[in-house]
Chain A
Amino acid sequence: MAETLRIDPTDRFELHPFYMFRWEERQKAYLLMYPEGIVKLNETAAETLKRCDGDRSVTEIIDELKEEVKNGPNPESASLVEKSVCKFLEESSAKGWIRKKEGGLEENGNR
């Protein structure tokens, strides 16, 4: 069960199709909903998950977020982005929220 996932910078992640991820005005937050469960995400998690579209690579996600942080209220924390994103990808992958998008012919076969 406790498989450890190494994040490869070229990996592309996508939201697992069982999950619904959306903004909820009432909670002023992004939510992840799944059978019998609701999770409210913090900003880092939400901004990362938004970009897990099966298209962007981990490197691309990190670069985009670094850029956003640099333009935000705490530009000095840009150095934390990489660690933070990788931690989120590892944890949410272990929870089954996201999965690696396989390339090539298997693309439509998923699981």
Chain B
Amino acid sequence: MVIGKEEMEVRLDGQGIPLWLCMEVTYRCPLQCPWCNNPLDYDTYRKHELSTDEWFRVLHEGREMGALQIGLTGGEPMMRDDIVEITAEAGRLGYYTNLITGGVGLTKDKLEALKEAGLNQIQLSIQSCDPAITNKLIGADAHDKKMQVARDIKALDFPLSLNIPVCRESIDQTKEILDMCEEVEADYLEYVQIQYYNWALHNRDELLPTKEQVKRSEQLVNEARERLGKKMTIYFVVPDYHDKFPKACMNGWGAIHLTIAPDGTAMPCQEARAIKEIDFPSVRDHDLSWIWHESPAFNLYRGEDWMKEPCRSCDDKEKDVGGCRCQAYLLTGDATNTDPVCYKSPHHYIVEEAITEASRPGRNTLPYVMRSVQSAASLRE
């Protein structure tokens, strides 16, 4: 062996590999969160979900291409009867397996079976430290169940990752929420601002916190980080609306991330169907390698050739890859525009107006549009 002066961490080269495979195994879910990132027509996927064998094939093809991490998500992945089998196959193939769950359906027996199957970690969502607020936000009586699941996860020696989607109604409880996470001995905490796509976009005016709220919250998170050190690793995901620069979304279109919807539709991210003009390929028609390397959909916004001004001549274009294509499309109608979160975007006023509206004194509060088949129908009209 060679002893050198090089850094101990070597840059992980994507080498054009989908390192992260996100499997949305179902869109079925017992919760009704108003920020759900599933499409409005989520219910139509119910009849077309991939079979166990089809998911196995996705897992095999992914490993052959060099994929390393699997996210089993939904919907609620625990709604799939074969979730333990799928997890076991992923573990057998050498993936690091992550289960992303709301906790409902995650009984002790299931947890033990998942442990046995080689599941590496569980990311559990909790919305508030106050049961009444959690239950209101998710449209179900599940707070206590979620807390029990958190304790069960710890008891089985899984790393406990809590995912707290933060909105205006919960952000002022930051301190109490952090205390709750400490009390259940969370190992990782993702304190994430909601991203405004699909259901969340319809509820944006009600969910978006004010600048002052975000600032206070960030300060409390930083204090907790200082105090807790490596006992609890906290990721504070800054709301991009309140940022001056756009996020380097997915590290770029078709760069390292591949999402498979319940019906086999393959996309560079979970939101990509927002861009209506794109015809996304299905794992039912093509192998993963063709989808990743050859399909027009995955090549559409790779690299920089698609960029327009102000991205094209911007010094930051490699750093932020022009932001998010879906957000550009949803807010400006053209996915090749600069993400309007960027202060250089000619459409930046759209984001500024949303923030102004969120902070306007005396604004009328509306009820959330909860995720349901009925509200989907009314939103489409």
Contact = CB atoms under 8 A, between A and B. Distances in A.
A31 B66 CA distance: 12
A27 interface: yes
Contact of B2 (A17, A27, A31, A43): A43
A1 B225 contact: yes
Given A18-B187, A81-B3, A33 B10 contact: no
Task: Please classify the interface of chain A as helix (H, G, I), strand (E, B), loop, or mixed, using the class held by over half of its residues.
Answer: mixed
A38 B69 contact: yes
B53 interface: no
Interface string B210-240: 0000000000000001111110010100000
Contacts of B11: 40
B361 interface: no
Task: Please classify the interface of chain B as helix (H, G, I), strand (E, B), loop, or mixed, using the class held by over half of its residues.
Answer: loop
A59 B207 CA distance: 56
A9 B161 CA distance: 34
Nearest to A83: B3
Contact of B10 (A41, A80, A91, A92): A41
Contacts of B101: none
Chain A interface size range = 35 or more
Nearest to B121: A35
Q: Which 9 A-B pairs have the closest CB atoms?
A: A1-B229, A26-B66, A33-B96, A45-B8, A18-B159, A40-B12, A35-B121, A77-B3, A40-B10
Interface in A17-49: 17-18, 20, 22, 24, 26-27, 29, 31, 33-36, 38-45, 47
B187 A41 contact: no
Given A22-B94, A34-B96, A35-B159, A27 B1 contact: no
Contact of B120 (A20, A77, A92, A95): A20
Nearest to B68: A38
A78 B157 CA distance: 39
A91 B7 CA distance: 11
A22 B2 CA distance: 19
